[in-house]
Structure 1
Amino acid sequence: MRPAACPHVRHSGLVSELRAGMLLVAAPALLDPNFADSVVLLLDVDDGGALGVVLNRPSPVAVSEVLGGWAEVVAEPEVLFQGGPVGAEGALAVAMLSDADDAPVGFRPVEGRLGLLDLDTPVELVEGTLQGLRIFAGYAGWGAGQLEAEVDEGSWYVVPGEAGDVFRLDPTDLWRDVMRRQPGELAWHATRPVDPDLN
């Protein structure tokens, strides 16, 4: 599923493209507990909707408890991440290739060396080919036009992602760090207190 047409979204004076590889950063106005203060990596965007995973919600569940063989391959912390409220019983693996020309069986590119890895692939076939791997339980999904509407109403900022965003050892400050590197007004949001009443 590749984007046939990439919708452009205008927010805070910036024009950003909703496409695979971009980040959705939850705006302060987004209070849905599934997404408050979240950073979502978009994995697929097309006319039918969008799909992504929340990058900053590690779970207490060790990968070794659910997907034994993959524990040796995943980036630290070696836990499942809560990718979103949809399909929480399933798992998606986001991987970064060590070499763009050496993709293992079961790898589907998303952007550059970043892609999705089929967890049915035998672990031994991917060893040595990945720079990073993270496994997400569930995902975030939007129907046709739904994400564009949420961005238009000010729920999300759409910003470029960096490879390090996906595989951070400690994703606690990911929201603030992503906001801090944005141009202009967006960077100001990085300094807001957790409780706006303290402002």
Structure 2
Amino acid sequence: MRHLARRPLGWMLFLLALSMLLFFPRLIDALKALEHEPVELKSGSLLVARPGRVSGAFDETVVLLLDAGAARSTWGLVLNRVRTQEDQPLPVGVDRWGGPVRAEHRITLTLRSPPPEGAHPLPGGLSWYEGSREPHLPVGSSLTFEGLAAWAPGQLEEELARGGWWVMEGRATDVFSAPGSLWVEHAARHL
């Protein structure tokens, strides 16, 4: 009698296992598709590095895009580094390490209104210009970055397709917030 009662249970487990084998890959593919929805990269967007999915140069970084486009190079500034890649202090007049390339290049982000002549506008009242912060501007409204974060045409789109970054709208408060907690605050929204 017990032997007969086990058969329906065995068949049910077998059918459950078989259905999982058939439908589980489709479920995983559907979840992956939701995770990598196409996003429009534009000036003013923030890239938040996903844990373990980007190169070491971008581990735990938040990048503000200054210029973006699939047909041309995309570049921006790492907002939350206060030391160089070699863990050296920044030069006098530089507030943050902007990225792993072009260390000799300086960019200043500012909330100055009206923006300085020749500055490029960004959403949220921000603008940027090449060069160091003007001496009369306080640190709280302008920051100078040394170095850039840059990607060749299509490179960042490939990293996004692999799930390397979360993309969100940037705000001025992101630029002028404490760099030590910026990545944690943004990553926590997605974890």
Q: TM-score under structure 2 normalisation?
A: 0.70
Paired residues of 1:53 and 1:139 also in contact (CA < 8 A): yes
1:93 aligns with 2:108: yes
Distance 1:83 1:121 in 2: 14
> Alpha carbons of 1:56 and 1:121: their partners in 2 closer, same or farther (altered >3 Å)?
closer
Query: Which one of the candidate residues 103, 110, 124 is aligned to 2:122?
Result: 110
Q: Which residue of 2 aligns with 1:42?
A: 65
Aligned to 2:185: 177
Within the candidate set 162, 172, 176, 1:163 is matched to 172
How many residues were matched structurally?
154
- Counterpart secondary structure, 2:143: strand
Letter in 2 for 1:172: G
Deviation at 1:15, TM superposition (A): 4.8
Q: Which of 52, 62, 86 in structure 2 is aligned with 1:29?
A: 52
Higher strand fraction (1 or 2) = 1
- Closer, same or farther: CA 176–109 of 1 in aligned 2, 3 Å: same
Poorly superposed stretches of 4+, deviation over 4 Å: 120-124
* Cα separation, partners in 2 of 1:12 and 1:121, compared to 1, 3 Å: closer
- How many Å separate the matches in 1 of 2:66 and 2:79? 12
CA root-mean-square deviation? 2.5
Report if aligned partners of 2:44, 2:64 keep a CA contact under 8 Å in 1. Answer: yes
What is the match of residue 18 of structure 1?
41
1:51 aligns with 2:63: no
Aligned equivalents of 2:34, 2:145: Cα separation in 1:
29
1:135, distance to aligned residue in structure 2 (A): 1.1
Q: Distance in 2 between matches of 1:31 and 1:13?
A: 15
Sort the Cα spacing of 1:121 and 1:160 in 2 relative to 1 into closer, same or farther, 3 A.
closer
Q: Percent identity?
A: 34
Cα distance in structure 2, aligned partners of 1:11 and 1:96? 35
Identify if the C-alpha distance between structure 1 residues 80 and 103 changes in structure 2 by more than 3 Å, giving closer, same or farther.
Answer: closer
Conserved 8 A contact 1:11-1:154:
no
CA contact (8 A) 2:82 2:90 kept: no
Q: Secondary structure at the match of 1:17?
A: coil
Indicate conservation of the 8 Å contact 1:44/1:110, yes or no. Answer: no
CA–CA separation in structure 1 for the residues paired with 2:180 and 2:117: 32
Bigger fraction of residues in helix: 2
Gaps of 5+ in 2: 1-32
